[in-house]
Amino acid sequence: MRAMVYRGPYKIRVEEKDVPRIEHPNDAIIRVTLAAICGSDLHLYHGLLPDTRVGHTFGHEFVGIVHEVGPSVQNLKVGDRVMVPFNIFCGSCFFCARGLYSNCHNVNANATAVGGIYGYSHTAGGYDGGQSEFVRVPFADVGPSVIPDWLADEDAVLCTDALATGYFGAQLADIVEGDVVVVFGAGPVGLFAARSAWLMGAGRVIVVDHLEYRLAKAREFAHAETLNFTEYQDIVVEMKRTTGWLGADRAIDAVGAEADGNLLQHLTGAKLKLQGGSPIALNWAIDSVRKGGTVSVMGAYGPIFSAVKFGDAVNKGLTLRMNQAPVKRQWPRLFEHLQNGYFKPSDIVTHRIPLEHIAEGYHIFSNKLDGCIKPLVVPNAG
C-alpha cells in the first residue's frame, strides 16, 4: 500500500508499505477514503515531539471502509463506512469508564501521561496513522462509528478531531450567557471553538491571529470579531481596552507549541526545542482574561517544561482547563447541531491533496501559503 512516511524534520515522502495486520482480536483494518492534515501534525513534522521515528506514518483524522475485522469484533462488519476518533481507547480502563477517552491507560505503553493517538509518534503509543491507504484500528468495537447517511465524508473527517476539539474547548471554557470569549488562533480548532462559543451563549466572541485570510474566515464562518495581533503594540492591553478594561471572561488557546509573536519564546520553544513549546498564546490568554476567569487550553505542548506565566494565573485566581479532546463523547450532540443546520464543518476546507503529493501539502500548510486553512488528503486519487 502507499503511505506517507516521516524522514526527519521537515521531510516526508510516500512509500510502499505492508498492509497492516490484525494484531489483537478486537482490531480492525480500515481502508482510508479520506484523511486530513492537522495543526498537531505540524508539531511532528517540525521534529518537536520526542520519539518521532523515521518511517512513521502520520494521520489521526481519517474516515474509511472496514476492510478486515478481528475475531472478537461485534459492532463493525467488513464494508461499513466509518469515522474514527483520533483517540485510541479501550473503553474499559479507569479513565475510559469515566468518559476520559483521551486519557486511556491501556493503549500507550510508551507514556502514562499521554493517551493513544493514531500516527502521533511513539510518545502517543507508536501506532501508524491514516495518511495512507490502510490503517490498523485497535478496539474496533469502541472507537469507530458508522457514518450516518446524512453526513458527507468531508464533514465526517472534520468530526474526527478539529470540530470535536473546538466544541470541547468551548465547553472547558465554562461559558455562561453573555460571556466575552477570546479565542487565540484562527486555525481549524480556533474557528470551531469560536463557532461553538456561541452555542453556549457567549455575548461576544473575539478571535486573535496574525493571518488576515484566517481572520476573514473567523468573521465569516464563526461570526466573530477579529484582532490581528501584529497591528497592536501589546495585544494584552488591547484586550483590556476592548473589554471595558475588565479582560475577557474566558479565553481559549487554540495555538499551542509553535506560537508566534515573541521571537525568543518561538526560537527556544519551536526551533531549538529547549522548552516544551513556545507558550506565547497561552501567556496572552492568562494575561487577557479577567480575574476569576477561565483559560481553556486546546493547543498542544510537548512533554518538557514551558515558560508559562503561572504566577499571574495564581494571583488572578484563574481556572485553567485542558485536555486532548475525548472525541467520541462529543458526537451525539454535535450531530444534532449539524442536523439542525447550524453550520457546515467542511466550509473551512481549502485544499484537497492527493496522497502522492502530500509533501507539497505539508509545505503549504506549514508555511500557511495559498490561503490554506484545512487540507484534506485523498488516497487513491489517481
Partner 1 sequence: MTYTSAKPPLPETPEQLRARIPGWGADLDPRDRPSVPREVFSPGTTGAHWDLPEQQPELWPRERSIEHSRLTPVFGTAQPPKALSGVLRKYAYRRFSEGRAAHWLILIAADRVDAVESHLASFATLHPDNPITETGVLAEPGAHPIASRRGRVDIRHQTLDPVIVAGPWVVGGWLAFRVARGVARRLRA
- For residues 28-67, which are near ligand NAD according to CB under 6 A? 38-40, 42-43
- Residues that bind partner 1 (rule: CB under 8 A) add up to a total of 110
End-to-end CA distance of the chain: 14
Based on the shown chain and the rule CB under 8 A, indicate whether residue 324 belongs to the binding site for partner 1. Answer: no
Please tell me whether residue 277 binds partner 1 under the rule CB under 8 A: no
Give ∠ CA 289-260-344 in degrees, rounded to 5.
70
Residues 6+ apart with CB under 8 A from 271: none
Among 184, 221, 331, 362, binds ligand NAD (CB under 6 A): 184
Among positions 281-320, residues that touch ligand NAD (CB under 6 A) are 281, 298-300
CB atoms within 10 A of CB 223: 13
Name the amino acid, one letter, at 189. V
| CB closer to partner 1, 26 vs 283 | 26
Residue 197 neighbours by CB under 8 Å, 6+ apart: 170, 173, 175, 181, 183, 205, 250, 252
Which is it for strands 248-253 and 2-8: parallel, antiparallel or unpaired? Answer: unpaired
Residue 68 binds ligand NAD (CB under 6 A): no
Residues 270, 285, 318, 373: which binds partner 1 (CB under 8 A)?
A: 270
Considering only residues 4, 29, 104, 194, which one is a binding residue for Zn ion as defined by CB under 5 A? 104
Selected binder of partner 1 within 329, 346, 352, 354 (CB under 8 A): 329
Give the span between the Cα atoms of 43 and 355, in whole angstroms.
20
289's contact among partner 1, Zn ion, ligand NAD, none, with CB below 5 to 8 A by partner kind, is none
Q: Does 191 bind Zn ion (CB under 5 A)?
A: no
Q: Is residue 325 at the binding interface for ligand NAD, with CB under 6 A as the rule?
A: yes
Partner that binds at residue 139, options partner 1, ligand NAD, Zn ion, none, CB closer than 5 to 8 Å by kind: partner 1
Indicate which of Zn ion, ligand NAD, partner 1, none lies near residue 216 (CB less than 5 to 8 Å, by partner kind). Answer: none
Binding to ligand NAD by residue 361, rule CB under 6 A? no
Amino acid at 65: I
Count residues contacting Zn ion (CB under 5 A)?
A: 9
Interface pick for ligand NAD out of 17, 31, 105, 210 (rule CB under 6 A): 210
Site string (257-296) toward Zn ion, x via CB under 5 A: ----------------------------------------
Residue 186 binds to ligand NAD (criterion: CB under 6 A): yes
Q: Which does 54 bind (CB under 5 to 8 A by kind): ligand NAD, partner 1, Zn ion, none?
A: partner 1
Binding-site ranges for ligand NAD (CB under 6 A): 38-40, 42-43, 161-162, 165, 184-190, 208-211, 214, 229, 254-257, 259-261, 280-281, 298-300, 324-325
